[in-house]
Structure 1
Amino acid sequence: MATQHGARCIHNDWPGYGQQKRFAEDQSKNDWIFNLDADERVLPELRDEILKCFESPEDLADGYFMAIHDRLYCTDKLSQYTPYKPVRLYRQSKGRYSSSPVHDRVIMNAQTTTATLKGRIAHDSLRSFHHRIEKMNEYSEAQAADMMTKGRKPSKFRIIVDFWASFIVGYCFRGYWRGGLMGYIYAVNFAYSRFLRQIKLYEQHHHSIASKQSSLPK
C-alpha cells in the first residue's frame, strides 16, 4: 500500500534496533530525517507544530525531542507517562542513531542545537497479548545479551524483588492506575518484562560459566 502512494520501500533483515535505524539513515537522500515507527501515529498538534517550524528555516534547531505516549490496548486512552522524549526529527549531518542492538536513540553531535516540541506521538505498541508476550520475550533476550556484553552479573536479590518493585513503579509512579483494568495489565506486563531480563541474565551467565569450565583441560 505504501508503494501505491509513492513511497520507496526497502527490506533489510533485522540486525538489531540501533543498527536497523542506522541502515535506514543511510538510505536517506535528504539531510532532514523524521523517524516514525510503523506502530506510531503523529497526532494533529504535533503535525501542525512541525509544519510551523519549517515555515522559518533560519530558526530551525538541528534536532527535536518529542514525547511518545502508549495508547492503552483496547481503549482510546493515551498513557500519561512518557518514559522518554527522544530526538525523532533531526539533521542527519548533525546526529545519528547509536549502533546499539537494544537501544535506538539519536546521538547528536557536539555543539548542535536542539528543541522540544509540545505535540505528541501515539504509540500503538500492542497488536494482541500474543504479540506482547512475543515482544517481551525477544526484547528481554536482547537486553540480557547486552548486559552480558557489558559485564553485568546476575543478582538473586534482583530476581526476587524486580517484579514487585517494577509493578509498583508502573502502577503507581507511571500512573497506569489511571487506565483502569488495562492499566493494571500494563503494569503487570512491565513488571514481568523486567523479571524476564533478570532470569535470562542469570541463565546466560550460568551457561557462560559452564562453557568455560567444560573447556578446561582435565
Structure 2
Amino acid sequence: MPNLPLTLVVITYNEAHTIARCLDSVPFAAEKVVVDSGSTDDTVAIARAHGARVVHQDWLGFGPQRNFATTQASHPWLLALDADEFLSPELAAELETALPAIQASADAAVYLRRRTIYMGRPMRWYRPAVGEKMARLWHRDRARWTDARVHESLRFDGPSRTLRGAFDHVNNPSLVEKQLKVLRYSELKCRDWYDKGKSTRMWQTPFVFLLAFIKDYLFRLAFLDGWRGFIIAQTAASYAVYKRMRYYEMRHNPASRDSASTALHRHGLDRGSDTTT
C-alpha cells in the first residue's frame, strides 16, 4: 500500500496492549507520531517497532495534548486515533482512495464514523455506538482542538465532508476499567468547571440521573441492545450524577482537590488531574 502525505497522531499512556493494532490499521500513512506522557509499560518500544516516531510530552490535558501532537507532524493533514481505536479495512480502503481529493480541497476537516465494541461485541442499536460522527481528519492550519482537559473536540469554520466507513473503538475491556475512567474523567471535568467558576446547581442532581438514563436507554435506543444497553445507559447516568456531586464537594471543601490527587496518584490514575487551576 503506498504511503500518502498524512500523519497519524496518537496520544498514549500505558497502552502496550492496544497501540500496535492502532498503528497497523493505518498502513498508508507516511508518518506515524505517538505522543507519550510517560508510559511505564512497553508502549514506547512497541510503538517504535510498529513504525511510529515517539515524542515525550508531560500530560497537558486531552485538548492541549492533541494540539501539541499537531505541532509534531510533518504533513498538513492529520488523522487522530486513540490507542484503543483502529480503522476498519473498509475505512482504510476508503481513506486511501479519498485522501488525494481531500488534500487538494479547501476542506478543514473530515468526519469519520465510530462504532463501539462493548463487553466484547459491537453495539447494534445504541446510537452513539453505531455510527457516531467525529471530526478526526483535519488540516492543521484550518482546525484546532479545544483546550478542554477532557471531552475535547475539533473546532473549525471551513467546509467538511463525511466518509461512509467506520473506525472501531474498544470501549473499556471491563466495567472495572470503566469505573476507573469515570473517576479520572470526572476529576478532569470538575477542574474545568472549577476554573470557570461554574455554579453547582445541586438541586438538578435528582433529575439528572433520570433524564440521562431515559435519553440513552429510550431515545438513543440502548434498550434494543438488551442488558448491555441497560448497563451502558446506567453507567452514563451515574457518571452525570457523580460529576455534580464531586464538583459540589470541590467547591465546598477545596482541600479535597489535593486529597483526590493523592488518591488518584496512589492508584496510577493521576495523569492530567493536577492540583493547579
Report the TM-score, using the length of structure 1 for normalisation: 0.86
Which secondary structure state, in structure 2, belongs to the residue aligned with residue 93 of structure 1?
A: coil
Q: 1:79 to 1:132 in 2, by over 3 A?
A: farther
* Runs of 4+ displaced beyond 6 Å: none
Displacement of 1:71 in angstroms is 1.7
Where do 1:35-184 residues align within 5 Å?
35-56=80-101, 57-59=103-105, 61-78=107-124, 80-82=126-128, 85-108=133-156, 110=157, 112-184=158-230
Which secondary structure state, in structure 2, belongs to the residue aligned with residue 53 of structure 1?
A: helix
Contact 1:69-1:79 at 8 Å conserved across structures:
no
**Take 2:230 and 2:93, find their aligned partners in 1: how far apart are those partners?**
34
**Take 1:85 and 1:77, find their aligned partners in 2: how far apart are those partners?**
15
Which of 253, 267, 274 in structure 2 is aligned with 1:207?
253
Q: 1:120 to 1:78 in 2, by over 3 A?
A: farther
Highest relative contact order (Cα 8 Å, sep 6+), 1 or 2? 1
State the Cα RMSD in Å: 2.1
**Take 1:174 and 1:119, find their aligned partners in 2: how far apart are those partners?**
21
Gaps of 5+ in 2: 1-45, 256-277
Contact 1:72-1:179 at 8 Å conserved across structures:
no
Q: What is the count of residue pairs matched by the alignment?
A: 207
Contact 2:115-2:123 at 8 Å conserved across structures:
no
Contact 1:140-1:196 at 8 Å conserved across structures:
yes
Displacement of 1:126 in angstroms is 0.7
Asked if 1:33 is matched to 2:78, the reply is yes
**Take 2:124 and 2:66, find their aligned partners in 1: how far apart are those partners?**
26
Displacement of 1:35 in angstroms is 0.3
Contact 2:126-2:225 at 8 Å conserved across structures:
no
- Name the residue aligned to 1:19: 64
Question: Which has the larger strand fraction?
Answer: 2
**Take 1:117 and 1:104, find their aligned partners in 2: how far apart are those partners?**
21
- Name the residue aligned to 1:188: 234
**Take 2:125 and 2:70, find their aligned partners in 1: how far apart are those partners?**
29
Displacement of 1:157 in angstroms is 2.3
Contact 2:115-2:122 at 8 Å conserved across structures:
no
Which secondary structure state, in structure 2, belongs to the residue aligned with residue 117 of structure 1?
A: strand
Letter aligned with residue 182 of structure 1: R
**Take 1:19 and 1:147, find their aligned partners in 2: how far apart are those partners?**
17
Contact 2:120-2:173 at 8 Å conserved across structures:
no
Displacement of 1:202 in angstroms is 1.0
Q: 1:46 to 1:60 in 2, by over 3 A?
A: farther
